Amino acid sequence: MAKKLNGTVIVTYRCNARCTMCNRYKAPSRADEEISVETIKKLPPMYFTNITGGEPFIRTDLKDIVRELYKKSDRIVISTNGYFTDRILDLCKEFPQIGIRISIEGLEETNNAIRGLDDGFNRGYETLKKLVEAGMKDVGFGMTVQDKNARDLIPLYLLSNELGMEFATASLHNSFYFVESGNIIKDRPMVAQCFEDLINELLKSNSPKKWFRAYFNHGLINYIYSQKRLLPCDMSFDTFFIDPYGDVMPCNGTKDKEVMGNLNEQSWDELWNGEQAEKVREKVRHCDRNCWMIGSVSPAMHKYISKPIRWVIKHKFLRFFKKKKYSMYENAIVRDYRDGKVTKEQLDALSTCDMTAVANDGLSEASRERLKDKSGEELVAADISEN
């Protein structure tokens, strides 16, 4: 039997939020070009599928997509901003086993300032509570940690515990997917300190899953100091992304869109085993972007499990027998920065942030053509009001 893959389906590039760290809302896809159920049917068997956007719930046929994906995927998680409460609850009625992750970027004021959604925190939080009341088991929230919201990390983690929910973290990245090249952490020690506090909270718990999340957050400290990834990146080998145009890509972290093939035009086997896919894999082998996003780290943590296990055992041992907490200064680069051996400018130069670059948006010609007359925000607002 063919090996099951890990897939992410970007069902739309339309988004109703206005996040400060992502310009995707300015570069939406055209609804009539977005990935169809017919193309979804051609995807391979998967052990995990993430459905994301844009905002996936802008699509009114999302249920049809999920129904089709369940025929080929063991587990599905949808990433959403939680704004379309009724649509989310309605979908969950048919698929109570599905996972829902709502992006909440901080406590009320911080979240609304970052996400730019009217009453976004309350809408997201209400959606989460209603999902739990409806008996949904796999519910959680995700936060993209940055200078503006790092201090809300622990309060939000504690809130997730109170609600019995998963809590996922990320940090700022630059790529065509985010239509962004200027994201960067400015006060690295402050943000790292907040991650350190979270890591200690996670290590304190009795949940092995949280101990491994602690390792992931340890990797985020390493990432924000622009260091080499703690684990190899094997995207495009047993993991893929597919965009709204049916283009299959290794990941969402590349500067420009890297295309392995197009599933509207090719069969899966033809695409996956084709020459173009091999060329992209070759690029991935030499990729120096050092992303640390759950989409590329989770498969790596499973594949190279011995490293995270050793880290977890060491830190649980130190905590239990020596009463020693995790410290961000375990990372040599954090010590070097504190001791003035490396400067902020040197770390900035190692990052993917490039203020002079023009971010590619990965849009089709037709989607881009529409932006000549109207802004992305206007186009998406019109789509939403029509449905």
Residue nearer to ligand SF4 on the CB measure, 143 or 284: 284
Question: For 231, phi and psi rounded to 5 degrees?
Answer: -130, 150
Q: How far is the CB of 238 from ligand SF4 (least distance, A)?
A: 13
d(CA 236, CA 250): 4
Question: Which strands sit side by side in the sheet containing 261-262, from one edge to the other?
Answer: 166-171, 139-145, 99-103, 76-80, 46-52, 5-10, 239-242, 247-249, 261-262
Minimum CB distance to ligand SF4 smaller for 8 or for 103: 8
Among residues 159, 212, 222, the alpha carbon closest in space to that of 192 is found at 222
Which CB atom, from 111 or from 352, has the smaller least distance to ligand SF4? 352
Q: What are the φ and ψ backbone dihedral angles of 383, each rounded to 5 degrees?
A: -60, -45
**Rule CB under 6 A: which residues touch ligand SF4?**
233, 235, 250-251, 253-254, 284, 287, 289-291, 296
DSSP, collapsed to helix, strand or coil, labels residue 331 as coil
Least distance CB 242 / ligand SF4 (angstroms)? 15
Write out the H or E segment, with its range, that includes residue 333. helix 332-338
Calculate Rg over the CA atoms of the chain: 20
How many C-beta atoms surround the C-beta of residue 178 within 10 A?
A: 20
Let me know how long the chain is.
387
User: 């940055």: which residue's tokens?
Assistant: 146
Residue among 140 and 253 whose Cβ is closer to ligand SF4: 253
Cβ proximity to ligand SF4: between 12 and 175 the closer is 175
Closest separation between CB of residue 307 and ligand SF4, Å? 17
State the minimum distance, in angstroms, from the CB of residue 293 to ligand SF4: 7
Nearer to ligand SF4, 156 or 300 (CB): 300
Identify the bridge partners of residue 141 per DSSP, sorted by sequence position: 102, 167
Least distance between ligand SF4 and beta carbon 234 (Å)? 8
CB of 326 to ligand SF4, least distance (A): 25
Give the residue with the Cβ less far from ligand SF4, 212 or 240: 240
Q: Which is nearer to ligand SF4, 281 or 370 (CB)?
A: 281
Closest approach, Cβ 352 to ligand SF4, in A, equals 9
What's the closest the beta carbon of residue 175 comes to ligand SF4, in angstroms?
7
Q: How many CB atoms lie within 10 A of CB 200?
A: 16
CA 119 distance to own-chain centroid: 23
Contact (Cβ atoms closer than 8 angstroms) between residue 111 and residue 88: no
Nearer to ligand SF4, 121 or 241 (CB): 241
Cα–Cα distances in angstroms (integers) from residue 387 to residues 30, 117, 158, 222, 311, in the given order: 15, 19, 37, 44, 49
Burial of 46 (0-12, 13-18, 19+ CB in 10 A): buried
Q: How far is the CB of 235 from ligand SF4 (least distance, A)?
A: 5
CA 167 to CA 199: how far, in whole Å? Answer: 12
